[in-house]
Structure 1
Amino acid sequence: MDPHLVVCVRLVLSAAILMTVCLVTMRDQLKSILTNRNALIDLVLYGVFGCFGCQFTYIMSIAINTAGIATLMEQLGSVVVIGYACLMERRLPRKRELTAIVLGTVGMTLICTQGDLSGLALSPQGLFWGVLSMVTLAAYVLLPTYLMKKWNGVAVTAPSIMVGAVAALIFLHPVGSAFPADLGAIAGILGSVFLGVVLPYPLFLRGLREAGPVVAGLLTGIEPVAALAFTTVLLGTAVTGFDAAGAFFIVVMLAVVALPDKPRRLMRGPSFGSSSPDDGVLDEGPSL
């Protein structure tokens, strides 16, 4: 199935479902966020570069690499977030952050080179989309920090995904793509919509409230391991020892990133539409 069509269908259906939920259960919050000028700026940026960008680059990375490798590379977006925080605060990485950067770099090197530093095991296209997915995941995590402080997570996510869906239809223009009519393809798309977009974000926010940022952040480290295991067991994708070792380093990196220096504070993220420099405490964020 055309990756462009997959992205468009996922975003359009997810936007329709979540917007319906918002209109029925949290109409006042939705009206509040849509009538706030600063929030609208953040909403558009988050929708285009976060929701659409993260979905598009991740799906393209899966199409060229594998789901497991694509997920592992995407999770290295935490390193991009650390680099951004250091740049904005005009400081060098702290010990914990430097440890995470080293672990992530080692993990990615093992996966990309398979232990042979003289060349790449991934194709140039696979590496390109993998790295781009890291950047868009960082955008997905950083851009909504101001919004998440003031509004319900679903009220933020629904219009943002709607913006992302519009961006996907404009930039990807999947009009000529044929949608598979078999039940397996339809079930796969619906499963990816509910299990990949509609359910994970609200569930993560609930876990964040119930268990706290440290435990919730640590649990996100299960995702790349699960993706690698499922693609191996269910799809028969070959996994090398270097892939497994790289996955180990990246999961340890995620654990290091999730452990805060101070209670309830991992790092700070600015608002892109708000005039206040103190808006937005970044705990952790899930992948779409």
Structure 2
Amino acid sequence: MVTNKQRHLWAFLAGLACVMWGISGLFAKSLFNLSSEITPIWLTQIRMVVSGFVLLLVAGIVRQKPIATMKNKHDAGIIIAYGILGLLPVQLFYFITVQKANPAIATILQFIGPFFVMGYLIIRHQQTLRRLDLLAAITAFIGVALLATHGDFSHLAITPEVLMWGMLAAIGVATNTLIPINVLQRVSSLVVTGWGLLSAGICLTIIHPVWPHIRLTAQVWLSVAVVIVIGTLIPFQLMTNSLRFIKASTASLLDAFEPFSATIGSVLCFGLIMTPLDWLGAVLVVIAAMALNITPKSKNKIE
């Protein structure tokens, strides 16, 4: 039986995981600022290959049979699709948005992802659109509009290119959520994520095999290590294990710590200027995304 003390502890750790994701975006931005040779593709390759290898190594140590999983052709196909169509776009397009804008904008735009999930469920499974879902979608649209214009609709405060990459990252969030649903009911999330990361990283390396001429200073090593360890390995384990002690809806609410930690960090570290309307837009997007996790009253509503 789960005690209140355990719930509080794991709720804190889940929130800490979200803060770590936000912080990793700041270190990615610092890497991009160091040299034009450090690209989102290179950072994504390094992050995916190393993280995938480490997760599979851990899965093997705890006897979750990572090799045996890939002998099942059906599961292997889904896991590879999850990596290439889910994990790859959500990470690569996020880093591109970070490079071209900042971690705050990238993370907030990524929060639009649940609305693409909602659209898929409505079209593919003919699930009913609740009034709350419609209100949340309108609220999110207003929030993004405020971020994109600073409230002045005669011009854009962020470029159309940044908006495009941010929306593609949000679509990646949706595919990242939807593709592995069935296989995760049979296979450890550690194995699924490990193979997904590794397969996507190898695929990206094959497509773009060029290794940039980067001066590997202590700052570069530190920032890459933070992106891998604090941005992937530790928060993944914290969030996955927390779901044994707290509700998924609680975990989704704690996701709000990610955009706000990225935003505050961008203000403090990179001199990002956020107007009151920018803050309002960010809050509206986060609230709208969290509203989708409110439990529906009937089974035919979006869950």
TM-score over 0.5 for the alignment?
A: yes
Mapping of 1:92-111 within 5 angstroms? 92-111=128-147
Within a 5 Å distance, the mapping from 1:1-288 to structure 2 comes to 1-28=38-65, 30-175=66-211, 177-262=212-297, 267=302
CA distance in structure 1 between the partners assigned to 2:87 and 2:291 by the alignment: 25
User: Gaps spanning 5+ residues in structure 1: where?
Assistant: 269-288
CA contact (8 A) 1:114 1:121 kept: yes
Deviation of the 1:97 alpha carbon: 1.4
**Count of matched residue pairs:** 266
User: TM-score scaled to structure 1, two decimals?
Assistant: 0.87
User: 1:45: Cα distance to partner?
Assistant: 0.9
Q: Offset at 1:202?
A: 2.3
Q: Is the 8 A contact 1:100 1:253 kept in 2?
A: yes
> CA RMSD for the aligned pairs?
2.0
Q: Alpha-carbon deviation of 1:24?
A: 1.6
Amino acid paired to 1:189: V
Q: Within 2, Cα distance between the matches of 1:90 and 1:264?
A: 12
> 1:280 maps to which residue?
none
Offset, 1:190: 0.3
The question of whether the paired residues in 1 share the 8 Å contact of 2:127 and 2:300 is answered with no
Instruction: Between 162-171 and 18-27, report the one with greater CA deviation.
Output: 18-27
Deviation at 1:205, TM superposition (A): 1.6
Does structure 1 conserve the Cα–Cα contact (< 8 Å) formed by 2:252 and 2:290? yes
Q: CA deviation at 1:92?
A: 5.0
One-letter amino acid matched to 2:186: K
CA distance in 2, matches of 1:208, 1:254: 19
Where relative contact order (Cα < 8 A, 6+ residues apart) is larger, the structure is: 2
Partner of 1:274: none
| Code of the aligned partner of 1:150 | R
List alignment gaps of at least 5 residues for structure 2: 1-37
The Cα offsets for residues 208-258 of structure 1, whole Å up to 9 and x where unpaired, read as 221111111111121111110111123322222222011110121122022
Aligned to 1:275: none
Aligned partners of 1:192 and 1:264: how far apart in 2? 39
Please say if residues 110 and 243 of structure 1, whose CA atoms lie closer than 8 Å, have aligned partners that are also in contact. yes
Partner of 1:282: none
SS in 1 for 2:182: helix
Q: In structure 2, do the counterparts of structure 1 residues 59 and 265 end up closer, same or farther at CA, with 3 Å as the change threshold?
A: farther
Distance 2:301 2:84 in 1: 25
4+ residue runs over 3 A deviation: 262-268
Distance in 1, matches of 2:292 and 2:127, equals 17
Identical pairs, percent: 22
What is the CA–CA distance in structure 2 between the aligned matches of 1:265 and 1:165, rounded to whole Å? 38
